[in-house]
Amino acid sequence: MLSYIGFRVLQVIPLLFAISVIVFIIIQLPPGDFLTSYVDQLKLSGNDVDESMIMNLTSQYALDKPLYMQYFIWMKNILLHADFGTSFQYKMPVSAVIGERLLLTMAISFISMVVIWLIAIPIGIYSSTHPYSPMDYAFSLIGFIGLAIPGFLIALILIYTVYSQTGVAITGLSSPAYAEAPWSMAKVWDMVPRMIIPVVIIGLSGTAGLIRVTRGMMLDELSKQYVTTARAKGLSERKLLWKYPVRTAVNPLISTVGWTLPTLISGEAIVSIVLNLPTTGPILLNALMVQDMYLAGSFILILSVLTVLGTLLSDILLAVLDPRIRYGGASA
Amino acid sequence: MSRSYETSSQWRLMWRKFKKHRLALIALPLLLLLYLTAVFCGFLAPNLPETRFVDYKNSPPQKLRFVDEEGKFHLRPFVYGYKMEIDKESFRRTFTADTARKYPVHLFVKGDSYKLLGFIKSDVHLFGVKDGNPLFLMGTDKLGRDLFSRILYGSRISLSFGMAGVALTLVFGVIIGGISGYFGGWVDTVIQRLIDLLISIPTIPLWMALAAALPRTWSTAQLYLGMIVIFSLIDWTGLARVVRGKLLSLREEDFTMAARLSGASHARIIFRHLLPSFYSYLIVTTTMAIPTTILGETALSFLGLGIQAPAVSWGVLLKDAQTLQTLAHQPWLLWPAAFIVLTVLLFNFLGDGLRDAADPYK
């Protein structure tokens, strides 16, 4: 077991390195470096630009050094000092801008994932034990729509429908009273009902996908001979279902966490822009628009790293649950 | 019956299976119709996409009517004119139907001139009202431009983007997946790790970052090409996996060995012998990828990172419907969403039918 975990962790390291290189390239992509845009920004707002300040910043970000040195300094600052650079738009360290929003993004994505599992697996099991029943068709139809229509369109349509029917604006995550308030239990409680809508929208396509997969896996299992044998021996339907096929069918689903999580985070980015949630999406878009690249790059870096770690965790979880993987070793 | 079944070609068997999928059978002609609409948008749209009717800003859709105020039935449909009212308190202008003015809708009306297929000059529109009176079937935007015409023109970019994006994705996917599966070994390992890498970066933020890096000075055509490259650079992974998996098993087959012994080159073995044995899967995967690509373009343009106005795509049009205020007062701006949803659903139905048909021996 330990050797398997060790092996998986070792695999992750080059992946993380490659991600950091890609993000660094993204940061460098816009024409001109970040300092030029920063100085332009200052000049536009009518500030005096001090030569010594430019010099300072140049040496701080090693902009006078070759690119690979810039990369190493950027990485060193992140790894040793958790310093992701400066957002020139907010005139604050990136980590200060990101923190709270990242937490909310992760919270919403994680809650969505739990909700997806809680809803999709029972429905998938039901659909597989009642194939081609009216309910099965109904779930398939909902699934089709959920898979086909992206979250941001559903969000737009939902905002309009709710507003035109009730006059309530469902955008934002806090009611006005709490919008600027510091964090407290009351603020969190205020958020809970408002989180339902983003969670439902973000989770819809995932739910649809998982229902499909569960149903397919279950149908495969149910047609196997051991099920027939068990039934012939007089095992109760309930035990017959839950004891073996469900456990076998659900097992591989855990490995889907790996690709569900990035999809959720990805979907959250754009849904949150439409719903105007105080998460990473709107600020990432804004940062990209004004080419506040350290801010934008850091978002992508952190979201990717969290995704990789999530996948790693799900792989380890799968190994704990499934001895075949544990002893099969490297193939995963 | 059974004899003809046994001697039918593979494509014939597929068509049989495909025909059984009702939704797919409906989706195919409807999609063709949508694409034809995009090709002949100049002729089908009553107005030009950039014409501003300054007197009719933010006007609601006109209903196409057959029965008038007095309950009299007209064989020729007509629309009512607009009556403008200004709210005394909010100074908002609202339009209502003016039943005193009736404009019959004629076929083959002369209007603004356009170029059909890009080079045939014409000023005949399929339908419209005469004497330059307004006809806004889906309302107008804040500059007074006809939304229906803009949606038709926008379909050119939105629909073709799906095809073009997927075509390039197919090239990347088949070549990289082919190399990975056929040669195996360390090449395969490197490519698989590359795929792992691309999958672990959340797609939409990555799209956003790359699209934002496209220079703002680029023309629409350059942006369009640039976005296609971005999409296929990220999107080829799924296809490459399919190709790799199939090739891994096929390269062990006897016919591959036979081809190799006869001295066929690697390229010839891959493209001549191996790929054709799973064309059907490629077609299915590709069809399923088209709606994703269309949605990608829509999402980015909607966010303002993709195709830029004055060019029109469905995403650009939806951008106007972003805020709650506009949704509340001009809900008709959501019409492009209906077209997007329709297209995406149709492609999914088609893909579903193709998937059933892909393996006709099952």
pLDDT in tens, A98-107: 877 888 888 8
| pLDDT surpassing 80 at residue B228 | yes
Nearest Cα residue to B328 out of A71, A288, A302, A169: A169
**Between β-strands B93-116 and A92-93, what pairing exists: parallel, antiparallel or unpaired?**
unpaired
Q: Across the interface, do B193 and A263 touch by the CB < 8 Å criterion?
A: no
Helix or strand or coil: residue A332?
coil
pTM of the model: 0.82
Q: How far is A50 from chain B (nearest CA, A)?
A: 29
Of A89-98, A211-220, B225-234, the range with the highest mean pLDDT is B225-234
| Alpha-carbon separation of residue A294 from A53, A279, B296 (angstroms) | 19, 17, 24
Q: Across the interface, do B203 and A171 touch by the CB < 8 Å criterion?
A: no
Note the pLDDT of residue A33: 60
Confidence grade of residue B168 (pLDDT, cut at 50, 70, 90): very high
* Chain B residues lying within 8 Å of A273, measured CB to CB: 303
Asked if residue B191 lies in contact with residue B180, where contact means CB atoms within 8 angstroms, the answer is yes
Tell which of A106, A113, A160 to mutate to test the B interface (max B CBs under 10 Å): A160
The arithmetic mean of pLDDT across residues B29-38, rounded, is: 90
Note the pLDDT of residue B32: 92
Q: How far is A288 from chain B (nearest CA, A)?
A: 6
The arithmetic mean of pLDDT across residues A237-261, rounded, is: 78
Note the pLDDT of residue A181: 66
Joined together, the tokens standing for residue B116 give 């059909």
Of A270, A297, A300, the CB nearest to B299: A270
B342 part of contact set with chain A, CB < 8 Å:
no
* Chain A residues lying within 8 Å of B331, measured CB to CB: 160, 164
Note the pLDDT of residue A304: 86
Note the pLDDT of residue A179: 64
Q: How far is A24 from chain B (nearest CA, A)?
A: 12
| pLDDT surpassing 70 at residue B173 | yes
Give, in degrees to the nearest 5, the angle at Cα A319 between A318 and A323.
115
Q: How far is A289 from chain B (nearest CA, A)?
A: 7
Q: How far is B239 from chain A (nearest CA, A)?
A: 16
B206 part of contact set with chain A, CB < 8 Å:
yes
| pLDDT surpassing 60 at residue A191 | yes
A15 → chain B, closest CA residue: B197
Q: Across the interface, do B213 and A26 touch by the CB < 8 Å criterion?
A: yes
% pLDDT > 90, chain A: 0
The arithmetic mean of pLDDT across residues A54-68, rounded, is: 72
Asked if residue B132 lies in contact with residue B47, where contact means CB atoms within 8 angstroms, the answer is no
Give the Cα separation of A86 and A90 in Å (integer): 8
Q: Across the interface, do B299 and A262 touch by the CB < 8 Å criterion?
A: no
Q: Across the interface, do B215 and A303 touch by the CB < 8 Å criterion?
A: no
* B210-222 pLDDT, tens digit each: 888 888 788 888 8
| pLDDT surpassing 80 at residue B261 | yes
HSE, side-chain direction, 13 A CA sphere, residue A22: 25
Q: Across the interface, do B345 and A145 touch by the CB < 8 Å criterion?
A: yes
Q: Across the interface, do B200 and A267 touch by the CB < 8 Å criterion?
A: no
Of B204, B303, B345, the CB nearest to A266: B204
* Chain A residues lying within 8 Å of B345, measured CB to CB: 144-145, 148-149
Residue B330: alpha-carbon gap to chain centroid: 24
* B91-115 pLDDT, tens digit each: 777 777 777 777 777 778 777 777 7
CB under 8 A, 24+ apart: contacts of B11-17 = B13/B360, B13/B361, B14/B280, B14/B357, B14/B358, B14/B360, B15/B357, B16/B360, B17/B356, B17/B357, B17/B360
Q: Across the interface, do A147 and B348 touch by the CB < 8 Å criterion?
A: yes
Note the pLDDT of residue B251: 81
The arithmetic mean of pLDDT across residues A53-67, rounded, is: 72
Tell whether ipTM is more than 0.85.
no
DSSP state of A47: P
With both helix axes pointing from N to C terminus, report the angle between B10-20 and B22-39 in degrees, rounded to the nearest 10: 100
Which domains does chain B possess?
10-38+151-357 (1.10.3720.10), 57-138 (no CATH)
| Alpha-carbon separation of residue A253 from A248, A250, A287, A313, A318 (angstroms) | 10, 5, 36, 14, 9
Torsion angle of alpha carbons A65, A69, A74, A75, nearest 10°?
A: -170
| pLDDT surpassing 80 at residue B6 | no
B337 part of contact set with chain A, CB < 8 Å:
yes
Confidence grade of residue B51 (pLDDT, cut at 50, 70, 90): confident
Q: Across the interface, do A164 and B193 touch by the CB < 8 Å criterion?
A: no
Confidence grade of residue A4 (pLDDT, cut at 50, 70, 90): confident
Backbone angles phi, psi at B169, to 5 degrees: -60, -40
* Mean model confidence pLDDT for chain B: 82
Tell which of B204, B210, B356 to mutate to test the A interface (max A CBs under 10 Å): B204
* Chain A residues lying within 8 Å of B302, measured CB to CB: 152
Asked if residue B195 lies in contact with residue B237, where contact means CB atoms within 8 angstroms, the answer is yes
Q: How far is A301 from chain B (nearest CA, A)?
A: 8
B327 → chain A, closest CA residue: A160
Q: Across the interface, do B205 and A289 touch by the CB < 8 Å criterion?
A: no
Q: How far is A122 from chain B (nearest CA, A)?
A: 24
The arithmetic mean of pLDDT across residues B2-25, rounded, is: 74
Contacts of B191 (CB under 8 A, 6+ apart): B176, B177, B179, B180, B240, B244
Nearest Cα residue to B297 out of B322, B315, B320, B321: B315
* B272-308 pLDDT, tens digit each: 888 887 777 788 888 888 888 898 888 888 888 888 8
Give the Cα separation of A268 and A200 in Å (integer): 11
Q: Across the interface, do B337 and A164 touch by the CB < 8 Å criterion?
A: no
* A302-321 pLDDT, tens digit each: 888 888 888 788 778 877 87
Confidence grade of residue B3 (pLDDT, cut at 50, 70, 90): low
Q: Across the interface, do A160 and B206 touch by the CB < 8 Å criterion?
A: no
Of A149, A159, A299, the CB nearest to B205: A299
Note the pLDDT of residue A34: 62
Of A153, A159, A296, the CB nearest to B340: A153
Q: Across the interface, do B322 and A259 touch by the CB < 8 Å criterion?
A: no
* Chain B residues lying within 8 Å of A299, measured CB to CB: 205
Instruction: Provide the number of CB pairs (under 8 Å) joining chain A to chain B.
Output: 121
Q: Across the interface, do A262 and B199 touch by the CB < 8 Å criterion?
A: yes
Of A18, A266, A280, the CB nearest to B197: A18
* A214-224 pLDDT, tens digit each: 888 888 888 88
Q: How far is A300 from chain B (nearest CA, A)?
A: 7
Confidence grade of residue A163 (pLDDT, cut at 50, 70, 90): confident
Give the Cα separation of A187 and B228 in Å (integer): 43
Interface of B with A in 316-335 (CB under 8 A): 318, 321-322, 324, 327-328, 331, 334
| pLDDT surpassing 50 at residue A332 | no
Tell which of B200, B217, B344 to mutate to test the A interface (max A CBs under 10 Å): B200
Query: Which residues face B167 on adjacent strands?
Result: none
Which domains does chain A possess?
93-331 (1.10.3720.10)
The arithmetic mean of pLDDT across residues B229-254, rounded, is: 85
Q: Name the amino acid, one letter, at B151.
A: I
* Chain A residues lying within 8 Å of B327, measured CB to CB: 156, 159-160, 163
* A67-90 pLDDT, tens digit each: 787 888 888 888 887 777 777 777
Of A145, A288, A300, the CB nearest to B201: A300
Note the pLDDT of residue B30: 92
Confidence grade of residue A258 (pLDDT, cut at 50, 70, 90): low
Place of tokens 């030029």: A36
% pLDDT > 90, chain B: 4
Of A148, A289, A304, the CB nearest to B345: A148
Contacts of B336 (CB under 8 A, 6+ apart): B147, B151, B154, B314, B317, B318, B321
Interface of B with A in 289-308 (CB under 8 A): 291, 295, 298-299, 302-305
Note the pLDDT of residue A80: 80
Confidence grade of residue A110 (pLDDT, cut at 50, 70, 90): confident
Confidence grade of residue A331 (pLDDT, cut at 50, 70, 90): very low
